[in-house]
Amino acid sequence: MCTSLTYIDTLNQHYFARTMDFPTTTPWRPIFLPRHYQWSTGLTTNRTTKYAILGGGRLPKHFNSCLMADGINEAGLVCAELYLPHAVAYVTQPRLNQLNLTPQAFINWVLGEHQSVAAVIADLPRVNLVGASWGDDTGEVYPFHWYISDTHASVVIEPTGGPLTAQPDPAGVLTNTPILIDHQHRLNKYLGLAGDQITTTTRLAAQQVIQAKKPLPSSSIPTDRFIHMALRRLGTPRLSAEQAPATIFHWLQEVSLPYDADRRYLISHNYTHYRCLIKLETRTYQFIPRTTGHQQSLTLSPEMVKAWQTPYLFPAN
């Protein structure tokens, strides 16, 4: 499920992009959540957003709250959740004197209550992630890790046990399991290098692969998608502002998962529901659904933030 990346063009404009790969048949669509929006933590408490949010989400059957997968808030903070099966370690019970959240609620807390990556990091010690469902139509406890970005920093948060911490992502790419450090090790191994750190040598080797036009890993497994996107991002000469959006959408298409109508209702059928690109400086959210391939471009403008007082689900197509 999902491939994501951060990017900075030659004008130092910042982007976040991702594919949303998931087996659910509930339509994913752009969603606006206003300031002062009350939402449930999935436990026994409610919280209220301080900042408006624009992103990708869905309204599941038999549930009256939007489940967000990614988005940007009015302060320019971006957060996206991606699957991390077989690696997460949530606690089983809420704890006194801590902020108890279910995994699905974490993205609402990040975007609804923070202005920056630094603010999220400072707030992490008080968060307790409880392995409970938020109450959606499946009742699942989602195994997530999160990619968080602003114009100053980008970090990954992986709940693998103990207090939550944030780590940098020098490859600028995130997919699913395994954890980030293992992805980095596999990338270096693919390039014939030792170690699990992204170095200048890693970047130079990636550039040689792209310049030589060698075939990139093309399977649907997360490790191959990570290597494929990391080679594209690290090995391609820095894109101009004119080149970046179309090129990044093309990169996402290369790692998108195909849809099979005959397998649509199987819980194991992951396919790409949408691709999105977020421009951080302009708070613009570009959304391309699988069903039409047509791009919607929406901007979280100051006027929208001030005037829109209720959640709004944009058309899925």
Residue 226 lies in a domain: no
- The answer to whether residue 146 is domain-embedded is yes
Tell me, yes or no, whether 217 lies in a domain: no
Mean pLDDT of the chain: 94
Q: What pLDDT, in 10s, does the model give residues 46-97?
A: 999 999 999 999 887 766 778 899 999 999 999 999 999 999 999 999 999 9
Residue 222 lies in a domain: no
Mean pLDDT, residues 268-277: 90
Query: Could you tell me the pLDDT band of residue 137, with boundaries at 50, 70 and 90?
Result: low
Phi, psi of 149 (to 5 degrees): -150, 145
pLDDT over 60 (residue 278): yes
Provide the percentage of residues in the chain whose pLDDT is more than 70: 97
Give the span between the Cα atoms of 130 and 95, in whole angstroms: 9
pLDDT number for residue 314: 94
Provide the pLDDT confidence category of residue 267 given band limits of 50, 70 and 90.
confident
> Range of 244's domain?
4-178+239-313
pLDDT band at 261 (very low <50, low <70, confident <90, very high): confident
- Summarised one tens digit per residue, pLDDT across range 19-54 is 999 887 678 999 999 999 999 888 888 999 999 999
In a domain, 49, yes or no: yes
Q: What is the mean pLDDT of residues 267-276?
A: 88
The string of DSSP letters for the chain reads ---EEEEE-TT--EEEEEEEEES--SPPEEEEE-TT-EEE-SSS-EEE-SS-EEEEEE--TT--S-EEEEEEETTS-EEEEEE-TTT---BSS--TTSEEE-GGGHHHHHHHH-SSHHHHHHHGGGEEEB----S-SS-----EEEEEE-SS-EEEE--SSSS--EEE-TT-EE-SSS-HHHHHHHHHHHTT--SSS--HHHHHHHHHHHHTTPPPP-SSSHHHHHHHHHHHHHHSPPPPTTTHHHHHHHHHHHTPPPP-GGGTT-TT--EEEEEEEEETTTTEEEEEETTT-PPEEEE--HHHHHH--S-EE----
What is the pLDDT confidence band of residue 161, given thresholds at 50, 70 and 90? very high
**Residue 130 pLDDT greater than 60, yes or no:** yes
Domain annotation covers residue 227: no
Residue 62's pLDDT is what? 65
Task: Reply yes or no on whether the pLDDT at 296 is more than 80.
Answer: yes
pLDDT for the residue 238: 98
Supply the pLDDT for residue 270: 83
Domain for residue 220, yes or no? no
Residue 199 lies in a domain: no
Tally of domains within the chain: 1
Answer whether 213's CB lies under 8 Å from 205's CB: no
Q: Residue 95's domain is classified under what CATH number?
A: 3.60.60.10
